[in-house]
Structures are given as structure tokens and as C-alpha cells.
Amino acid sequence: MVKLFNDTFDINEIIDSNSTEVLLESEFAITDNMPDIERIITTEGKTEINNVSVNTDSVTVNGKLIYNMLYYSNDEDYSIYSMSGEIPFSEEIEAPGVTEDMEAFSKALIDYIDVEQLTERSFLIKAVLILDTDTYLKRPVTYVSYLESDGSIQAKTKNVLFTDTLAEVSEEVNINDAVEVSRSSGEIATILKSESDVYITNIDTLNEKVLVEGICKVGFIYIEDNDNHVTGYVTEEFPFTHYLELKDSDDGLREINVTVKEMTYSTTENFDDEKKLIEFELPLKIDAALYSSTERNIITDCYSTDYQLELTSETINLSSLENLTNNIIKFEDSFEILTGTIRDIYSVEASPKISDKRIADDKYIIDGYLDVNMLYLNGEMNQIDKAFASLPFTADFPIDEEETSNQIHSDIKINKCNAYRKGSNSVNFNCDINVSLKFKNNNEVSVIKDIVERDPIDRNKMPSLVFRVVQPGESLWDIAKNYNLSINSLKELNEIPEDNLLTPGTKIIIARS
């Protein structure tokens, strides 16, 4: 008789990975209290995912594109106006094999956004989004981890490594503060555009809590309330700290990400009763996960020398997270503007476009471009103008020989964008390229879920002596299982070495028990 002992894997299997292109096109009219459009300056956007739902053979992603459009008018009061709005989207992505009990995660990136003036009162926003969506199944897998028998059971085992998620935390954080324009500036008449950037500067562990420290940078383009209606820009950095309840965070690999949501703001008066203060609220989402890798010895196959066995088995994909790294690449380059001269630079933003990922010369290499958008004061027209540049970059990271066999997943974010004037029409741009790397190893293994003994083996039907020629790729286990013989009896009879290696073409003597 055989006695079974069970154990459980909590696995997280990726069922489907999909990259989908979403085309958005929507027409808008400016509000009645806004003047006619003379010329559109620029439009920029951000994305938010509201909901991801899994259906049978498909995943539905709901979200929105938030845009901000700047334009010139012939208005006597102000020459520049802005309008913001949202374009909702709902994309159903085909994913054969997924079911409603699965979960999905989607990330939306803006690949392209532009605006076209239709009439004096209307415009068309066109955008291309890239949705990267992963569907996965979290489930426990119970398997036979150990067995006891009278010695008739022959078991084949294997050491496997898998990663378990020990803890996951997702918390909302609101940064509430204010920015004041300089004393030399006039009062604020209206705000044309806002921007925000958040990045982590330090992570530490204190008394089973994780301390996340970072910097929040906000900026505003505004019009002064005076006869000249001068356009101004103000920016400021604010440090923030937040504690996460993440126990045993020193015992495994830690992953922490910050996502910026839509900022709200309003103008108010300072202590001198001047309308020079911008109060803002910036909501952040901090996601943290703690992973631990465990090695287990599992039974992958077995047979009996006395009975026919009925095995219930399952093939699963065990994923082990080998390493997590965060790397910062300092990037700097120059570009020329195409129109006019630069009198002042108001704001600059950049988004990465990846063209190639490869391993070469013991390095993981990422090639791509930074699409840079800059707003500046054109000295020839004395008006705000837009400059665009696509700057190539290469980021490479040394990896060891073992890491070259891993699946490497990379994620890129751009922080700390700055632009400085070099002469009348040249710009020096610099930023931090933040690259996160995940090194994963996927191991497909067969686990035994149940073993049942059936009819006894009839040795009388077996020849008393067999000479078998070892075939290429054939192991001692394969031969012993085929004849329901013990490994030790075959080794003793054939003087097989301790490593159990067989040479193809040699003869094995098989004697009936």
C-alpha cells in the first residue's frame, strides 16, 4: 500500500499577453464664453485606466484620454486660451482561452496625439494609444509532495524554484500644497496648463513598515492680470513620505511603483492679498508587492514494481522571479528649434518610444527615442510656440551568464525633464531615464495530484532474460519504468555507474524478478 502526503503551490499563471493599438478621434467645440480659435499651439494628453474586466475569450479595458489644448485668439483681453476635456474609450481585446475567473492588468501609453482645427469654434483630437494587457490566473495547485510505501514504489523527483507573492498593498496618497509666483510677476489671471512629475528617491524598512520617500514636482503656465497679459511659468518641488504596512519586507524581493493621477488646482490670494497663489491637490497611487522564492522537491513521475499505477497529473508553469533592479540613466542631448528664436522656455516633457531590446556582449540593451515636446516664447513673434524633437537613446546594463537565460521584462519612465537655451535657437535637454528590470525564469513541470494502485503486475508474461540496446536520449529511469523494475536491481545487474548515465548503443541485461 502507498500513503500519500500533499502540499500546495499558489501559482500565478500568465494566460495571455496582448499589445493592442487603440485609435481615438473626437470632435469638440469650445465653450460659449471662449473666443474664436485663430491658431492652435499644441495639445497634450494623459491616460487613465478606470476598469479592466475579463470575459470568456476576451478582456475589456475602459479608460479615458485627458487632453489639454492651447490656442491663440484675437480676443482683446488675452491672446492665449486653453481647453481641457476627456475622450472615454472601451476596448474589447480578443484573448482565446481566458475565463471570467481570471484577472487582468492593462497599461495605456500615448503613442501619438495631435489636434486639427476644423472651424473657428471647433477642433478634432486624434490619438493612438497602446494597451499592454496581461491576463493571469491565481489558483492553488495541490500535489503529492511525499509518499510512503513498502519499497515497491519508484519515484522520480526534481528540485523546482518558484516565486510566491507574500504581500500586496495599494494605497492612495494626496499631496496638498501651494505654489506662489515670484514677487516680480503680476497677479494670476488664468492658468493655461499644469504638469506634474513624481519619482521615488529612497525606500527603507522601519519596524515592519516600508518608508517611501519621493519628490513631487508641479508646474503651471499662467497669464498675468495686467495690461500686457504676460505669460509666466512657475514650478516647485515638494518632498513627500509615506509608510506602507508590508511585513517581512526584508526577506524577499520588493517592488514599489508610483502612479500619478489627475491634478486639481485653483488660484487664491497670498498673505499680501495678491492673487499669486496656486493651491493644488495631486493624488498618487502607491503599489507595493513583496515576493519570496522557494525551492521544493517534487515528485514528477512514479511507478510500482508490484502494481499497475493510475496517476493523475497536471502540467503547470512555475515562474520564479530571480531579480529586480532599478537603474537611472542620465540623458543629455541638444536640438534646434524650427521657427523663430528662443526668448524663454516654459515647459518640457518627454515620452519614450522603444525600438529594440536585445542581449549582446554580456549586456541587456534598450534602443529607442525620446519624443520631446517643449513650449517656449518665440522672440520673433513674442508668442508661445511649440518645439518637437525625437532624440535617440541607448541604455545598457551588464548582466551575468545566468541572467542571459532569463526572461527579462523592462519598464521605462522619464523623470526630471529640464531644458536650457543655448543661443537663440538651440536647446540643451536633459532628464533621468528610469529603467526597471525583472528577471524571470519559467519552469514547466508535471506534478502528480493522485496515485491509485490497480491490478498486480503479472511477471509470468515477461521473458526471463532480455538484452536491450540503449537508444539515444533513453535514461535508466525510462528502461526501468518500461519493465516495472527497480532502479537498484538494474544498476546491480549491469554495473551502471552512480551517475546513472547510459551510453547509446550499449546493451542492458533485464532479468525477470
Nearest CA-CA partner of 317 in 472, 441, 467? 441
Instruction: Answer yes or no: do 127 and 166 share one domain.
Output: no
Whether the pLDDT of residue 251 is over 70: the answer is no
The per-residue pLDDT for 207 is 75
> Residue 366 class from Cβ within 10 Å (0-12 exposed, 13-18 middle, 19+ buried)?
buried
Instruction: Answer yes or no: do 174 and 292 share one domain.
Output: yes
Q: What is the tally of structural domains in the chain? A: 4
The band of 21, judged by pLDDT with boundaries at 50, 70 and 90, is very high
Instruction: Give tens-digit pLDDT for 97-140.
Output: 999 999 999 999 999 999 999 999 999 999 999 999 999 988 88
Instruction: Answer yes or no: do 171 and 278 share one domain.
Output: yes
Q: How far is CA 367 from CA 357, 358, 399, 404, 434, in A?
A: 6, 9, 17, 18, 14
| Residue 484 belongs to domain with CATH number | 3.10.350.10
Q: Is residue 384 in a domain?
A: yes
What distance in Å separates the CA atoms of residue 400 and residue 361, rounded to the nearest whole number?
10
Nearest CA-CA partner of 494 in 512, 477, 510? 510
Contact 61, 48 (CB under 8 A): no
What is the average pLDDT value for the chain, to the nearest integer?
90
Instruction: Answer yes or no: do 111 and 223 share one domain.
Output: no
Instruction: Answer yes or no: do 154 and 301 share one domain.
Output: yes
Cell digits of residue 269: 490670494
Instruction: Answer yes or no: do 173 and 80 share one domain.
Output: no
Q: Is residue 413 in a domain?
A: yes
Long-range contacts (CB closer than 8 Å, 24 or more residues apart) made by 77-83 = 77/229, 78/189, 78/190, 78/223, 78/229, 79/229, 79/383, 80/41, 80/192, 80/223, 80/231, 80/383, 80/384, 81/30, 81/34, 81/35, 81/192, 82/191, 82/192, 82/193, 83/28, 83/30, 83/31, 83/34
Whether the pLDDT of residue 285 is over 80: the answer is yes
Q: Number of C-alpha atoms within 13 angstroms, CB side, residue 351?
A: 14
What distance in Å separates the CA atoms of residue 120 and residue 144, rounded to the nearest whole number?
73
Instruction: Answer yes or no: do 191 and 287 share one domain.
Output: yes
Q: Is residue 448 in a domain?
A: no
Q: Residues of the chain with pLDDT > 90: what percent?
A: 59
Rounded mean pLDDT of 336-341? Answer: 92
The band of 418, judged by pLDDT with boundaries at 50, 70 and 90, is very high
What distance in Å separates the CA atoms of residue 254 and residue 214, rounded to the nearest whole number?
17
Instruction: Answer yes or no: do 279 and 180 share one domain.
Output: yes
Contact 253, 290 (CB under 8 A): yes
Q: Which residues contact 492 (CB under 8 A, 6 or more apart)?
A: none
Q: Is residue 313 in a domain?
A: no
Last residue of a domain, one of 439, 473, 500: 439
Cell digits of residue 422: 543655448
- Domain with 467 in it: 459-513
The per-residue pLDDT for 195 is 93
The per-residue pLDDT for 250 is 63
Q: Where does residue 380 fall: left (phi above 0), alpha (psi -120 to 50 degrees), or beta otherwise?
A: alpha
Q: Is residue 2 in a domain?
A: no
The per-residue pLDDT for 168 is 87
Instruction: Give tens-digit pLDDT for 342-353.
Output: 999 999 999 999
Q: Is residue 357 in a domain?
A: yes
Instruction: Answer yes or no: do 434 and 492 share one domain.
Output: no
Instruction: Answer yes or no: do 189 and 296 share one domain.
Output: yes
Instruction: Answer yes or no: do 352 and 480 share one domain.
Output: no
Rounded mean pLDDT of 209-227? Answer: 91
pTM value is: 0.85
Whether the pLDDT of residue 6 is over 80: the answer is yes
Side chain identity, residue 403: E
Last residue of a domain, one of 139, 172, 198: 139
Q: Is residue 497 in a domain?
A: yes
The per-residue pLDDT for 498 is 79
Q: How far is CA 443 from CA 31, 162, 371, 418, 508, in A?
A: 58, 8, 38, 44, 33
The band of 79, judged by pLDDT with boundaries at 50, 70 and 90, is confident
Whether the pLDDT of residue 284 is over 80: the answer is yes
At 482 the three-state DSSP class reads helix
Instruction: Answer yes or no: do 168 and 284 share one domain.
Output: yes
Q: Is residue 434 in a domain?
A: yes
